[in-house]
Amino acid sequence: MTRTRVGLVLFAAMVLATIFAGPLGRYDPLKPDYTARYAPVSAAHPLGTDGLGRDVFARSLAGGRVSLVVALSATALTMLLGCSLGVLAAGVGGATDTVLARFFDALLAFPGFLLILLAVAVLGGGSAQTVMAMGIAGSPLYFRLARSFARSELRSEYVTAARALGASHSRQMLRHAVPNFAGSLLVQGASTAAAFLLVEASLSYLGLGVPLPTPSWGNVLQDARSFLTRQPWAAVGPGLFLAAASLSFQFISDGLREHLDRRG
C-alpha cells in the first residue's frame, strides 16, 4: 500500500506543480528573451535558459502539463476503444467477433511504435492527433484482454445464475461480468499511461508529436539535444520530471495490482 501512496503523492505533486507553474511562475515559458540566451544554471534559472532565452524550468513544467494531458487522454481513449469493442465481440460473438479479432490481430503485427508513428503521420501532427494515434495503437491489447476476460466470466456460475433468473444479455455482461474484471484492466491502464508518457516524448522528439511552440517533455528534450554540450541541465532536468511522472504511474499500477491480488 505504501507504493500506491508514494505513487499518488508523486502524481499529485506533478499535477499541482504543472498547473500552478503558469500563474505563479516568474517566467513565461513561451516568450523569448534575447538578453538571456543560454543563461547558466542559477537561482533565477534552476535549469538555465535555452537558445531563445526561455527559462527551461518553466518550459519543463508547462511541457509537463501538455505531456500529462496527452498521455492520460490517450490512455482513456485506448481503454475505451479496446475494452468496449472487446466486450462487444465477446458478447455478440459470431462474424462480428471474428472480424474484430482479425483486425486487431493485424494491428498487433506492427511493432507498436511504428504503428503510432504511421498513424500520427497520416493524421498529420498535433496534440489531438497524437492522442488519437496512441489511442488506436494501444487498443489491441485492451481488446484482447477485455474479450478474453468477458468470455471466461460469461461461462462462470454467477453469470449462469443471473441468466437463469432472467437477466438480459446486456445486463449479464455489464452488471455482472464487467465489474469483475474492470479492476485488472485499470491496473493495466496505469502502466499504459506510464508507457504513453515515454511514447509522447519519443514522438515529439522526432518532431511528429506535440507541435512547437507548445512545450511538451518530448519537444523540450528535442530542443535540448541541439545545445546538449552547452546546457546539459536543460536535457537532464526535463528527463527527471518525466521519470518522476512515469514512476508515479508505475507505482500506482503496482499498488493496485497488489491490492487486487490480496482481495482476489
Partner 1 sequence: MTRYLFGQVFSLVLTLWVVLTLVFLAVRALPGDAATIMGGIDSSAASIAEMRQALGLAATLGEQYIGFLGDLVKGDMGDSIRERRPVSAVLLDRVPVTLTLAAMAFVISLVFGLGLGLLAGLRPGGFFDKLTTGFATVALSLPEFWFGFILILVFAVQLGWFPVLGLPPTGLSLRSSWHLLLPAVTLAIPRAAQLARLGRARVLEERSSDYVRTARSKGLSAGSVGRHIASNALPGVVPLLALELGGLLTGTIVVEQVFGLPGLGATLLGGISARDYPVVQGVTILAVAIYVGVNWLADVTQLVADPRLRAPT
Residue 67 beta carbon to partner 1: minimum distance, rounded to whole angstroms: 11
Beta-carbon-side half-sphere exposure of residue 143 (alpha carbons within 13 Å): 22
Q: Which of 129, 111, 101 is nearest to 203 (CA)?
A: 129
Residue choice 246, 253, 255, 257 for contact with partner 1 (CB under 8 A):
246
Q: Binding to partner 1 (CB under 8 A): which residues in 91-110? A: 102-103, 105-107, 109-110
Reading the block at residue 84, the C-alpha cell is 468496449
Amino acid at 140: P
| Residue 253 exposed, middle or buried by CB count within 10 Å (0-12, 13-18, 19+) | buried
Give me the 123-152 binding string for partner 1, x by CB under 8 A, dash otherwise: -x----------------------------
Which parts of the chain are beta strand (E)?
A: none
Name which of 99 and 161 has its Cβ closer to partner 1: 99
Q: Judged by CB under 8 A, which stretch of 53-61, 120-128, 137-145, 146-154 contacts partner 1?
A: 120-128
Residue choice 201, 210, 220, 256 for contact with partner 1 (CB under 8 A):
201
Residue 244 beta carbon to partner 1: minimum distance, rounded to whole angstroms: 8
Q: Judged by CB under 8 A, which stretch of 14-22, 87-95, 163-171, 222-230 contacts partner 1?
A: 222-230
Residue 177 beta carbon to partner 1: minimum distance, rounded to whole angstroms: 26
Using CA atoms, how far apart are residues 198 and 247, in angstroms rounded to an integer? 11
Name which of 44 and 122 has its Cβ closer to partner 1: 122
List, in sequence order, every residue forming a beta bridge with 55; answer none if it has no partner. 49
User: Using alpha carbons only, what angle is made at residue 250 by residues 248 and 254, rounded to the nearest 5 degrees?
Assistant: 120
Reading the block at residue 133, the C-alpha cell is 494515434
Using CA atoms, how far apart are residues 216 and 28, in angstroms rounded to an integer? 15
For residue 86, report the phi and psi dihedrals to the nearest 5 degrees: -65, -45
- In this structure, the dihedral spanned by the alpha carbons of residues 120, 193, 64 and 118, taken in order and rounded to 10 degrees, is -10
Name which of 114 and 212 has its Cβ closer to partner 1: 114
Give me the 180-199 binding string for partner 1, x by CB under 8 A, dash otherwise: --------------x---x-
Residue choice 205, 209, 210, 256 for contact with partner 1 (CB under 8 A):
205
Amino acid at 119: A
Using CA atoms, how far apart are residues 134 and 82, in angstroms rounded to an integer? 12
Name which of 5 and 26 has its Cβ closer to partner 1: 5
* Contacting residues toward partner 1, per CB under 8 A: 102-103, 105-107, 109-114, 117-119, 121-122, 124, 194, 198, 201-202, 205-206, 218, 221, 224-225, 228-229, 232, 235-236, 239, 242-243, 246-247, 250
